[in-house]
């Protein structure tokens, strides 16, 4: 058995790294790892998953399959994850047998909204007023009226707004809780948001950490629609406080790897931690094109024990998510979006994940626009919205460029 607390030696290029999960985050991790000279073995049940398409070693099994895990442990020098809902036992087993970043205990916290909020509270980072609802009696407790209007969220497995329902009246809670499957949930107060931002940081086994500049995120129907980075995207004072809070959270978890913390910014500029992801995050995809070290480069560095350097954002950026809806015309017939027109726009970087089947609300790719200043990136992104048939976005609430 391996002692997870002993210092890990540097894993030199040429070694093979493991990743659990075969989605787009795994695909972009593999791109970064391969560029740095590493091989990657992917554990993923789907034959044509985005990450499986770009690697030479694919272990096709369930994430908690014993043979699959043994195969990863035999072939990889260290393992990371690309999504957090890997069964806890699988992560604990890997943690005991080879370097795993992030470690199983940190992922367990990020898998559960109630545990996340308990951590935020323990380390002194404010989160929304909330209550844990894990029984019919708790759902019927009239004291919850104080949290309404609110949002009832399943504690586990929620993403892209799934597993959430708005609650206006206390009497609606028991039925809403049952409709969500009667699973443990968190009821949180609905806050009046000025904006949403996220901080992505990387922390090494030695506790050294660096962060990327925070980005401003705009959601539509509970799904990230656009992220804005660069001067003017986030109020500098808000950014400083968010970065400090994210580092406190990472310390509190003895975190190793890339961590994203989502924050709400309230009308008075105060910050409320929303949730976190123990991996690179959709809101950081622009860093591939806008930074000298991307969030995926940081994931590789933390995994192999390479030095962490503070990334420099060299371009302002706007990232647009490309959902499967774009692959259907007004009559519902399938078509390929007009990429040639989009690629004629300045600073366009098109990333498609190789998913064969477009579905509505499915993340098929993203499009990043980089420019010297934010207003130029926004102008190009707005043109792209027009070309793709997406409703235009408003500039983030705290937007000004040096050049505006
Ligand atoms: P997911 O795991 O689906 O990303 P989140 O908890 O981040 O779940 O919620 C998705 C989005 O819903 C948030 O980014 C935000 O726009 C909105 N939202 C969630 N919780 C609240 C809240 N308490 N008050 C206001 N808006 C919220
Ligand atoms: Mg979220």
**Shared domain check, 348 and 203:** yes
Say if ligand 1 is within 6 A of residue 191 CB: yes
> Around Cβ 246, how many Cβ atoms within 10 Å?
25
What does the pLDDT read at residue 101? 97
Say if ligand 1 is within 6 A of residue 150 CB: no
* Domain annotation covers residue 124: no
> Which contiguous run of DSSP H or E holds residue 257?
strand 257-266
**Shared domain check, 330 and 233:** yes
Q: What is the number of the ligand 1 atom nearest to the C-alpha of 193?
A: 25
Q: What burial class does residue 57 get, using C-beta atoms within 10 Å of its C-beta: 0-12 exposed, 13-18 middle, 19+ buried?
A: middle
* Domain annotation covers residue 7: no
* Domain annotation covers residue 265: yes
State the distance from the centre of ligand 1 to the C-alpha of 243, rounded, in angstroms. Answer: 20
User: 267 Cβ partners below 8 Å, 6+ apart?
Assistant: 192, 194
Tally of structural domains, the chain? 3
Q: Is the pLDDT of residue 85 over 80?
A: yes
* Domain annotation covers residue 122: no
Spell out where 341-392 has E strands.
348-352, 363-371
Model confidence, pTM: 0.96
For residue range 229-273, list pLDDT tens digits in order: 999 999 999 999 999 999 999 999 999 999 999 999 999 999 999
Report residue 340 CA to chain centroid gap: 29
**Shared domain check, 262 and 170:** no
The DSSP code sequence of 86-99 is S-HHHHHHHHHHS-
**Shared domain check, 94 and 38:** yes
What does the pLDDT read at residue 159? 85
The values of phi and psi at residue 260, to 5°, are -115, 130
Tokens coding 259: 């961590």
Q: Is the pLDDT of residue 220 over 70?
A: yes
Which of 164, 189, 214 is at the close of a domain?
189
State the distance from the centre of ligand 1 to the C-alpha of 159, rounded, in angstroms. Answer: 9
Range of the domain at 224: 193-388
Return d(Cα 353, Cα 72) in angstroms, integer.
Answer: 23
Q: Is the pLDDT of residue 404 over 70?
A: no
User: Is 331 strand, coil or helix?
Assistant: coil
Q: Do 47 and 98 touch, CB atoms closer than 8 A?
A: no
Q: Is the pLDDT of residue 403 over 80?
A: no
Say if ligand 1 is within 6 A of residue 196 CB: yes
Return d(Cα 54, Cα 72) in angstroms, integer.
Answer: 17
Q: How confident is the model at residue 402 (pLDDT cuts 50, 70, 90)?
A: low
Q: Do 353 and 282 touch, CB atoms closer than 8 A?
A: no
How far CA 177 is from CA of 135, 164, 280, in Å, comes to 9, 10, 31
Q: Do 183 and 154 touch, CB atoms closer than 8 A?
A: yes
**Ligand 1 pocket, mutate which of 274, 276, 277, 321 (most atoms under 8 A from CB):** 274
Q: Do 377 and 394 touch, CB atoms closer than 8 A?
A: no
Q: Is the pLDDT of residue 115 over 50?
A: yes
What does the pLDDT read at residue 9? 78
**Ligand 1 pocket, mutate which of 127, 161, 267 (most atoms under 8 A from CB):** 161
Q: Which ligand is nearest to the CA of 163?
A: 1
**Shared domain check, 184 and 204:** no
The candidate with the shortest Cα–Cα distance to 303, out of 38, 89, 57, is 38
CATH code at position 156: 3.30.1490.20
**Shared domain check, 332 and 257:** yes
State the distance from the centre of ligand 2 to the C-alpha of 361, rounded, in angstroms. Answer: 15
**Shared domain check, 168 and 294:** no
State the distance from the centre of ligand 2 to the C-alpha of 56, rounded, in angstroms. Answer: 32
The length of the chain is: 404
Say if ligand 1 is within 6 A of residue 129 CB: no
Say if ligand 1 is within 6 A of residue 160 CB: yes
Ligand 1 atom 17, closest CA: 222
Return d(Cα 92, Cα 89) in angstroms, integer.
Answer: 5
**Shared domain check, 327 and 198:** yes
Q: How confident is the model at residue 1 (pLDDT cuts 50, 70, 90)?
A: very low
How far CA 93 is from CA of 19, 98, 100, 350, in Å, comes to 15, 9, 10, 38
Q: Do 283 and 217 touch, CB atoms closer than 8 A?
A: yes
User: 379 Cβ partners below 8 Å, 6+ apart?
Assistant: none
State the distance from the centre of ligand 1 to the C-alpha of 33, rounded, in angstroms. Answer: 32
**Shared domain check, 159 and 47:** no
Evaluate the CA torsion angle 50, 51, 57, 63 in order and state its sign. negative
What does the pLDDT read at residue 396? 86
Return d(Cα 270, Cα 126) in angstroms, integer.
Answer: 9
**Ligand 1 pocket, mutate which of 154, 156, 164 (most atoms under 8 A from CB):** 164
Q: What is the number of the ligand 1 atom nearest to the C-alpha of 189?
A: 23
For residue range 315-329, list pLDDT tens digits in order: 999 999 999 999 999
State the distance from the centre of ligand 2 to the C-alpha of 267, rounded, in angstroms. Answer: 19
User: 249 Cβ partners below 8 Å, 6+ apart?
Assistant: 119, 120, 123, 125, 255, 259, 261, 273, 276
Say if ligand 1 is within 6 A of residue 225 CB: no
* Domain annotation covers residue 144: yes
For residue range 160-200, list pLDDT tens digits in order: 888 999 999 999 999 999 999 999 999 999 999 999 999 99
State the distance from the centre of ligand 1 to the C-alpha of 187, rounded, in angstroms. Answer: 12
Ligand 1 atom 15, closest CA: 222
What does the pLDDT read at residue 397? 80
Scored b (16 or more CB within 10 A) or e, 201-217 reads: bbbbbeeebbbbbbbbb
Q: Which ligand is nearest to the CA of 150?
A: 1
For the chain, helix (H) and strand (E) counts, in that order, are: 12, 17
Say if ligand 1 is within 6 A of residue 274 CB: yes
Q: What burial class does residue 352 get, using C-beta atoms within 10 Å of its C-beta: 0-12 exposed, 13-18 middle, 19+ buried?
A: middle
**Shared domain check, 315 and 197:** yes
What does the pLDDT read at residue 7? 58
**Shared domain check, 90 and 21:** yes
Ligand 1 atom 13, closest CA: 222
What does the DSSP 8-state code read for residue 127?
B
Q: What is the number of the ligand 1 atom nearest to the C-alpha of 217?
A: 14
Residue appearing with tokens 């659990």: 20
Ligand 1 atom 8, closest CA: 161
* Domain annotation covers residue 283: yes
Say if ligand 1 is within 6 A of residue 84 CB: no
Residue appearing with tokens 């123990």: 278
**Shared domain check, 200 and 185:** no
State the distance from the centre of ligand 1 to the C-alpha of 226, rounded, in angstroms. Answer: 15
What does the pLDDT read at residue 8? 64
């Amino acid at each position: 058995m391996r002692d997870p607390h002993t210092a890990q030696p540097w894993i030199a290029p040429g070694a093979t790294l493991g990743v659990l999960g075969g989605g787009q985050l795994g695909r972009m991790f593999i791109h970064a790892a391969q560029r740095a000279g590493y091989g990657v073995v992917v554990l993923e049940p789907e034959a044509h998953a985005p990450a499986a398409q770009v690697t030479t070693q694919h272990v096709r099994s369930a994430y908690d399959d014993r043979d699959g895990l043994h195969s990863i442990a035999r072939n990889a020098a260290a393992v990371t994850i690309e999504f957090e809902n890997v069964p806890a036992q699988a992560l604990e087993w890997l943690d005991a047998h080879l370097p795993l970043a992030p470690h199983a205990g940190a992922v367990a916290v990020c898998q559960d909204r109630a545990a996340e909020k308990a951590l935020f509270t323990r380390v002194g980072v404010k989160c929304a007023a909330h209550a844990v609802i894990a029984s019919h009696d708790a759902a019927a407790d009239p004291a919850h009226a104080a949290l309404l209007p609110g949002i009832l969220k399943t504690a586990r497995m929620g993403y892209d707004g799934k597993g959430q329902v708005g609650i206006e009246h206390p009497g609606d809670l028991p039925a809403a809780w049952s409709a969500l499957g009667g699973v443990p949930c968190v009821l949180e107060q609905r806050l009046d948001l000025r904006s949403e931002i996220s901080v992505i940081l990387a922390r090494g086994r030695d506790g050294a950490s660096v962060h990327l500049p925070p980005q401003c995120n705009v959601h539509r129907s509970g799904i990230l629609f656009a992220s804005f980075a660069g001067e003017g995207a986030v109020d500098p004072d808000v950014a400083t406080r968010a970065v400090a809070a994210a580092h406190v959270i990472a310390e509190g978890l003895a975190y190793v790897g890339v961590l994203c913390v989502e924050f709400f910014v309230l009308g008075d500029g105060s910050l409320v931690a929303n949730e976190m992801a123990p991996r690179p995050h959709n809101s950081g995809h622009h860093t591939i094109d806008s930074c000298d070290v991307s969030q995926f480069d940081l994931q590789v560095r933390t995994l192999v024990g390479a030095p962490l350097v503070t990334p420099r954002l060299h371009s302002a950026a706007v990232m647009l998510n490309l959902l499967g809806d774009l692959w259907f015309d007004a009559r519902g017939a399938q078509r390929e979006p007009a990429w040639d027109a989009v690629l004629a726009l300045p600073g366009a970087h098109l990333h498609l994940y190789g998913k064969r089947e477009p579905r509505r609300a499915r993340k098929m790719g993203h499009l990043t626009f980089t420019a010297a200043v934010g207003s130029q990136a926004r102008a190009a992104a707005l043109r792209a919205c027009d070309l793709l048939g997406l409703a235009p976005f408003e500039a983030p609430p705290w937007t000004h460029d040096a050049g505006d």
